[in-house]
Amino acid sequence: MTLPNAAEAESRTVKIREVGPRDGFQNEPETIPTAEKIRLINALGRAGLNRIEVASFVRPDVIPQLSDGVAVLDGIDLPEDVDRLVLVPNSRGLDNALAQRELFEEVALFVSASETHNRRNINRPVAETMADVKKMGERIVAEDLGFCAVIATSFGCPFEGKVPLDRVLDLAEQFAEAGATELGFGDTTGMCNPAYASRFFAAALERLPGIEVTAHFHNTRGQGLANAYAAFEAGCRSFESSFGELGGCPVPAGSTGNIATEDLVSMFHEMGVDTGTDLPALIEAARAAQTVLGRKLTSHSIVAGPVVWAAPDTDTGA
Amino acid sequence: MTLPNAAEAESRTVKIREVGPRDGFQNEPETIPTAEKIRLINALGRAGLNRIEVASFVRPDVIPQLSDGVAVLDGIDLPEDVDRLVLVPNSRGLDNALAQRELFEEVALFVSASETHNRRNINRPVAETMADVKKMGERIVAEDLGFCAVIATSFGCPFEGKVPLDRVLDLAEQFAEAGATELGFGDTTGMCNPAYASRFFAAALERLPGIEVTAHFHNTRGQGLANAYAAFEAGCRSFESSFGELGGCPVPAGSTGNIATEDLVSMFHEMGVDTGTDLPALIEAARAAQTVLGRKLTSHSIVAGPVVWAAPDTDTGA
């Protein structure tokens, strides 16, 4: 056996950012007690996830489920190498976040590619959000914080239908100009299919050289991992997911969960792709969330556990 | 717009065989009343599924859930173009099936690629099953019935680990020599990953010219549709699935459901691939199964419904 070269090794490694503590918890009908959140986030950190979106500086009257964000940031105890991310909707949110500057390493900004979805989600026209992004970007860069951005409804909008690929990538370039080093593309309401994911990520990677391109799929119609596989095949090496398949979107009602971190990790590990995470520990964290929430979650690995290969590998391995 | 040529049209069409009434119903802890089975199967036929595995001629003391197979076959009322399939484990089962010759159009035989799984599932060595297959094949062909075969644990076995690709394809060739015109490959306990599915189906299609090659995936760890997409990309155009994500395998305990027909159809329709089925009607059939079984099923489209594109297509379509 010859040693793989660096490019080949690179191609068999993906980054996974855990968004369950923000994207998942904010969509729960009942607010999860702060101590339980802290316990679950600590478990995620111990499972090897080294980027976790922990809090959101949104208005507590709009999303009361995340109103304890500072207490959560203050209470968690994560390994040294874990980056804590906070989501910020506007300059007012950034003011509040920067008042806690020492509690996180990265800021995530977002906009919807669909005008209607942006207005319904954060009550602002896209142009106004992007003008604010420019100002926020300067401050984030000046603070020497990590700066990533997520574009919601990148693959379709329940209100506007198909979203032109160029419109999405134009917004991505505006974020990059504002200083973002990572661009995530969100399938907010689960409208992507793997053929389009393949085409989309090939185009995004070509249009955004030097930018980390991240896929954020929902499993609304069970296709989430098919989309992730297609994006991987197109060259994407960074993914957002949510333990237990938690998550969704505040609008429209009925939008269901993100792809499950443990199902995504199971797929990549079986493909021989390194994620840097401990699958059994991730499954334990998802099961703990199930207990806290008091209902069955829709992740599949939570039931089946990891694949167990009874005998040593043969030449049939993937 | 130019008309697609025949090969292109072919490449955008898949066949879907519904196995829920057999593979799904046999894994339910409680036997479903015959009248309910008939009502659900009739709904599947009206939804455009033109091949439905309706019954299994197995020993009623081993699988009591399917002991009403003849009554079901006798009671269903399907459109003229729907093929009714029956699963047969051995020559004794074929005797019983042929006594009802007028009630079905196709026979499905099966074996496990794994010796241990075959013994635990049907209490026979693989060689003995294959000797019986030869005899059964002659009778099926003589009766002018459709003849398909499914090889279980094609992608891995919970008892034996990885299963050599050549062993699986050798069995497939034996089935083809016995007269089978279609070979299905079953991921009985959900151990396949999309990278291996891609490699496997490319090899199977090359080794089995003139044979319909069918993928039968389970969604045990949420990767079922990713595997289906990878198989499609490798050239596979025939799939087995189960409405509501029903199904599993009698051994080992805890094996969960097949890929959901409605999730598979949703994915293909969004990719612009024709399935010949009516997705809203399929979702209604799965919801009806949920009502009959009195529990939430794990299919995702059952919750979300089909993708609704609010605006006319633009050039961003898949």
Q: Is the dihedral of CA B93, B96, B100, B101 positive or negative?
A: positive
A150 CB-near residues (< 8 Å, 6+ apart):
A108, A109, A110, A183, A184, A185, A186, A214, A216, A240
Alpha carbon B23 to its chain centroid, in Å, reads 8
Question: Where in the sequence is the domain holding A219, given as residue range(s)?
Answer: 11-304
Picking from A165, A223, A311, the nearest residue to B160 by CB comes out as A311
Residue A317's pLDDT band, with cuts at 50, 70 and 90, is very low
Q: Is residue B25 part of a domain?
A: yes
- The residues of B carrying an active-site annotation are 249
Suggest the residue from B187, B199, B221 to mutate for an interface test with chain A (most A CBs closer than 10 A).
B221
Nearest-angstrom CA–CA distance, B57 and B26: 12
The pLDDT of residue A316 is above 50: no
Residue with tokens 């309910």, as numbered in its chain? B36
Q: What is the pLDDT of residue A163?
A: 95
Suggest the residue from A11, A198, A225 to mutate for an interface test with chain B (most B CBs closer than 10 A).
A225
User: Could you tell me if residue B162 is left (phi over 0), alpha (psi between -120 and 50 degrees) or otherwise beta?
Assistant: beta
Q: What is the pLDDT of residue A252?
A: 57
Over residues A227-234, the mean pLDDT reads 98
Q: Is residue B281 part of a domain?
A: yes
Name the nearest CA neighbour of A45 among A71, A20, A24: A20
Chain B residues close to A259, C-beta within 8 Å: 222
Residue B281 burial (CB count, 10 A): 16
Chain A residues close to B296, C-beta within 8 Å: 296
Model confidence pLDDT, tens digit, residues A175-217 = 999 999 999 999 998 999 999 999 999 999 999 999 999 999 9
Suggest the residue from A27, A193, A261 to mutate for an interface test with chain B (most B CBs closer than 10 A).
A193
For B239, the enclosing helix (H) or strand (E) is strand B238-241
The pLDDT of residue A43 is above 50: yes
Measure the CA dihedral A54/A59/A61/A63, to 10°. Answer: -40
Nearest-angstrom CA–CA distance, B160 and B153: 10
Q: Report DSSP letters for A98-154, one per residue.
A: HTTGGG-SEEEEEEESSHHHHHHHHSS-HHHHHHHHHHHHHHHHHTT-EEEEEEETT
The pLDDT of residue A112 is above 50: yes
Q: How many residues does chain A have?
A: 318
Kindly report the nearest CA distance between residue A75 and chain B, in angstroms: 33
Residue B212's pLDDT band, with cuts at 50, 70 and 90, is very high
Q: What is the pLDDT of residue B311?
A: 64
Return mean pLDDT, chain A: 92
Give the burial string for B156-186 (b: 16+ CB within 10 Å, else e): bbbbbbbbebebbbebbebbbebbbebbbbb
Whether cis (ω within 30° of 0) applies to the bond prior to B252 is: yes
DSSP state letter for B25: G
Q: Is residue B1 part of a domain?
A: no
Query: Phi first, then psi: what are they for B26, rounded to 5°?
Result: -70, -15
Residue with tokens 């989430």, as numbered in its chain? A224
Using only C-alpha atoms, chain B has a radius of gyration, in whole angstroms, of: 19
CATH number for the domain that contains residue A214 = 3.20.20.70
Long-range contacts made by residues B281-288, C-beta under 8 angstroms, separation at least 24?
Answer: B281/B43, B281/B46, B281/B47, B281/B48, B282/B44, B282/B47, B282/B48, B282/B49, B282/B243, B284/B43, B284/B47, B285/B40, B285/B43, B285/B44, B285/B47, B285/B243, B286/B243, B286/B244, B286/B260, B286/B261, B286/B262, B288/B39, B288/B40, B288/B43
Over residues B198-207, the mean pLDDT reads 98
Nearest-angstrom CA–CA distance, A107 and A86: 5
Model confidence pLDDT, tens digit, residues B18-65 = 999 999 999 888 899 999 999 999 999 999 999 999 999 999 998 999
Residue with tokens 């237990």, as numbered in its chain? A244
Residue contact A316–B165, C-beta within 8 A:
yes
Kindly report the nearest CA distance between residue B95 and chain A, in angstroms: 37
Residue contact B304–A190, C-beta within 8 A:
yes
Q: Is residue B220 part of a domain?
A: yes
Q: Is residue B5 part of a domain?
A: no
Q: Is residue B314 part of a domain?
A: no
The pair of three-digit structure tokens given for residue B171, joined into one six-digit string: 């069995």
Q: Is residue A290 part of a domain?
A: yes
Q: Is the dihedral of CA B162, B201, B82, B48 positive or negative?
A: positive
Q: Is residue A117 part of a domain?
A: yes
3-class secondary-structure state, position B318: coil
Counting the structural domains of chain B, the total is: 1
Over residues A34-58, the mean pLDDT reads 97
In chain B, whose CA is at the least distance from the CA of A259? B222
Q: Report DSSP letters for chain A, one per residue.
A: -PPPPHHHHHHTB-EEEE-IIIIIGGG-SSPPPHHHHHHHHHHHHHTT--EEEEEE-S-TTT-GGGTTHHHHHHH----TTPEEEEEE-SHHHHHHHHTTGGG-SEEEEEEESSHHHHHHHHSS-HHHHHHHHHHHHHHHHHTT-EEEEEEETTT-BTTTB---HHHHHHHHHHHHHTT-SEEEEE-TTS---HHHHHHHHHHHHHHSTTSEEEEE-B-TTS-HHHHHHHHHHTT--EEEEBGGG----SSSTT--PBPBHHHHHHHHHHTT-B-SS-HHHHHHHHHHHHHHHTS----SHHHH-S----S---TT--
CB-based contact A302:B151 (threshold 8 Å): no
Model confidence pLDDT, tens digit, residues B128-173 = 999 999 999 999 999 999 999 999 999 999 899 999 999 999 999 9
Kindly report the nearest CA distance between residue A289 and chain B, in angstroms: 18
Q: What is the pLDDT of residue B255?
A: 60
The pLDDT of residue A82 is above 90: yes
Q: What is the pLDDT of residue A315?
A: 43
Kindly report the nearest CA distance between residue B96 and chain A, in angstroms: 36
Model confidence pLDDT, tens digit, residues A133-158 = 999 999 999 999 999 999 999 999 98
Using only C-alpha atoms, chain A has a radius of gyration, in whole angstroms, of: 19
